[in-house]
Structure formats: C-alpha cells, structure tokens
Amino acid sequence: MGPTRIWTAVAAVAVAACAPTIKVQAPDKPIEINLNVNIRQEVIVKLEREVLETLRQNPSIF
C-alpha cells in the first residue's frame, strides 16, 4: 500500500468521524481481490524447511 492510499484511508476515517449521518456509497473503483497473494503465501510458508536446508547446503552462494 503506497503512502497516498494510506493517507486516503486516514482522510476517509477522519471525514467519517465528523459526518453526522451515515451515507452508503458505492466505491467509484471496482473492489479487487487478489487471490494470487494468498496462494503464494501458503506455498511459501509450506517451503520453509526446504528453504533453510538449501541455505545450509550452499553457504557460499546464499
């Protein structure tokens, strides 16, 4: 998440905190759900033992 998006989120919370009424508004951009990230994380967690083994066996290149 870039700084701009963080500030946007902070601004949104700040505005929401001040607003007396609740408005339900559809976001102007489609909501993206990136499944690749979750799949990859699962794979990477599963590989931890083999990764450590690889590092131990090749100390001159890792």
The residue range among 3-11, 14-22, 25-33, 48-56 that interacts with other proteins, by the rule CB under 8 A, is 48-56
Q: Which is nearer to other proteins, 21 or 58 (CB)?
A: 58
Chosen residue from 3, 19, 31, 62 binding other proteins by CB under 8 A: 62
Using the Cα atoms of residue 30, residue 35, residue 40 and residue 41 in order, give the sign of their dihedral. positive
Q: Residue 24: left (phi > 0), alpha (psi -120 to 50), or beta? A: beta
Per DSSP (E only), the strands in the chain are none
Interaction site with other proteins (CB under 8 A) = 37, 40-41, 43-45, 47-48, 50-52, 54-56, 58-62
